[in-house]
Amino acid sequence: MKKALITGITGQDGAYLAELLLSKGYEVHGIKRRSSLFNTQRIDNLYEDPHDKNVRFKLHYGDLSDSTNIIRIIQEVQPDEIYNLGAMSHVRVSFDEPEYTAQVDGIGTLRILEAVRLLGLTEKTRIYQASTSELYGGVQGHAQSETTPFYPRSPYAVAKLYGYWITVNYREAYNMYACNGILFNHESPLRGETFVTRKITRAVARIALGLQDKVYLGNLDSLRDWGHAKDYVEAMYLILQQEQPEDFVIATGITTSVRDFVRMAFAEVGVELAFDGEGVDERAVVVSASNPAYPVSVGQEVLCIDPRYFRPTEVDLLLGDPTKAMTKLGWQPKYDLPALVKDMVTADLDLFTRDQLLATNGHAVLNYFE
């Protein structure tokens, strides 16, 4: 039985990847940070009682900022594959926590690679590094591929640039099977609530259910190449199954503005929007609401701009060229953007129908504007 070790197992990708690897017969080990709450909501469906026999899903406390526990866990597990997904993954927040981001996203990658080397596992253990389209940052004007040069535009992207190159360097210096997946934005119902897509789909559900009036966003002009996380974890797995270690871009090849994502998400609940105003004065109002299940008023202002969501340096456009992954890995995404939007809005409607029930029964409802 193959053993995989996943850092960032409690995150969006960690949860889908763990599920995929379990379905393929792997024993899956995950590194979980100690927190004051359980923080395992995304993987509770996979939990197995450690007292049972033949348990194939195991969690270990650890942190990418601590080499000692990384070495200990890798020594204990002796994994065939490591997927390094753990990161401070929010671009905007990385401007507020630049040093921590460098420690975890940059040096954290080195800690994994060096642990494998020190433990003499270079022949046995394959390593996947969660690299990102944010590496391209300021490279604009054409589709970005494995050969496009990098120009990071945030502390997050700069930290990930170190992670990218140290992975390449360990591959070349020590002949390790270590690969970068350069993944473009991927989303799902498990996406963190402060990333823009999930923030939008949550707001759409809550506005449709009468739990919230409007949502505040930042830059509506930025363009992103959005795919579904379920498709992207398949690519991670495939990248580690090749004969030779190589780096791959994973993307859909289609880019869409944040504004159009908003339009598509509201359309899922029968609401058509009109945008007016410019810059910080831009807003969206309802021009029609066709679904009687979601009685949103015509004329209601549902979106305003809050400049605190702007970034000191923005990445205007991301558009990936996934040709290499499609030809060499045989990777093909199953979800397009409309299917992704539908999946996310449907899941958030289910989630917040429960809140609506609480509200109509007189219980307090939390406000989610972040």
Q: What are the beta bridge partners of residue 27?
A: 3
In the residue annotation, 132 being an active-site residue is answered as yes
Q: Which is nearer to ligand GDR, 176 or 347 (CB)?
A: 347
Q: State the amino acid at position 27 in one-letter form.
A: E
DSSP state, residue 97: S
For residue 88, state whether it binds ligand NDP (rule: CB under 6 A): yes
Between CA 102 and CA 336 the distance in angstroms is 33
- Tallying the residues shown for the chain, one arrives at 370
Q: Which is nearer to ligand GDR, 21 or 203 (CB)?
A: 203
For residue 133, state whether it binds ligand GDR (rule: CB under 6 A): yes
Between CA 54 and CA 65 the distance in angstroms is 31
For residue 87, state whether it binds ligand NDP (rule: CB under 6 A): yes
Write down the catalytic residue from 19, 134, 187, 234. Answer: 134
For residue 39, state whether it binds ligand NDP (rule: CB under 6 A): yes
For residue 148, state whether it binds ligand GDR (rule: CB under 6 A): no
Q: State the amino acid at position 319 in one-letter form.
A: L
Between CA 169 and CA 157 the distance in angstroms is 18
In the residue annotation, 109 being an active-site residue is answered as no
Which one of 7-15, 120-128, 146-154, 259-267 is the stretch in contact with ligand NDP (CB under 6 A)?
7-15
Q: What are the beta bridge partners of residue 5?
A: 29, 82
Among 222, 323, 346, 356, binds ligand GDR (CB under 6 A): 222
Among 10, 109, 219, 255, binds ligand NDP (CB under 6 A): 10
Q: Which helix (H) or strand (E) holds 354?
A: helix 337-360
Among 151, 162, 195, 368, binds ligand GDR (CB under 6 A): 195
Nearest distance, CB of residue 133 and ligand GDR, angstroms: 5
For residue 65, state whether it binds ligand NDP (rule: CB under 6 A): yes
Partner in contact with 217, chosen from ligand GDR, ligand NDP, none, beta carbon below 5 to 8 Å by kind: ligand GDR
In the residue annotation, 156 being an active-site residue is answered as yes
Between CA 70 and CA 74 the distance in angstroms is 6
- Residue 272 dihedral angles phi and psi, to the nearest 5°: -105, 135
Site string for ligand NDP, 15-34 (x = CB under 6 A): ----------------x-x-
Between CA 150 and CA 197 the distance in angstroms is 25
- Residues numbered 74-103 forming contacts with ligand GDR, rule: CB under 6 A: 89, 91-92
Q: Which is nearer to ligand GDR, 29 or 199 (CB)?
A: 199
Q: Which helix (H) or strand (E) holds 130?
A: strand 126-132
Q: Which of 28, 109, 116, 104 is nearest to 71 (CA)?
A: 116
List Cα–Cα distances, 335 to 3, 107, 331, 346, 350, in angstroms: 29, 34, 12, 15, 20
- For the chain, the first-to-last Cα distance in angstroms comes to 43
- Residues numbered 171-200 forming contacts with ligand NDP, rule: CB under 6 A: 183, 185-186, 192
Q: Which is nearer to ligand GDR, 141 or 330 (CB)?
A: 141
- Residues numbered 269-308 forming contacts with ligand NDP, rule: CB under 6 A: none
Q: Count of alpha carbons within 13 Å of 48, Cβ hemisphere only?
A: 17
Residue entry with tokens 């992704």: 340
Between CA 163 and CA 351 the distance in angstroms is 36
Among 283, 311, 324, 328, binds ligand GDR (CB under 6 A): 311
For residue 337, state whether it binds ligand NDP (rule: CB under 6 A): no
For residue 275, state whether it binds ligand GDR (rule: CB under 6 A): no
For residue 63, state whether it binds ligand NDP (rule: CB under 6 A): yes
For residue 98, state whether it binds ligand NDP (rule: CB under 6 A): no
Helix axes 337-360, 258-267, angle to 10 degrees: 60
Helix axes 229-239, 12-23, angle to 10 degrees: 60
Q: Which is nearer to ligand NDP, 193 or 213 (CB)?
A: 193
Q: What are the beta bridge partners of residue 356?
A: none
Among 132, 167, 201, 212, binds ligand GDR (CB under 6 A): 132
Nearest distance, CB of residue 240 and ligand GDR, angstroms: 19
User: Under the rule (CB under 6 A), what is the footprint of ligand NDP?
Assistant: 7-8, 10-14, 31, 33, 35, 39, 63-65, 85-89, 104, 130, 132, 183, 185-186, 192
Residues with a known catalytic role: 132, 134, 156
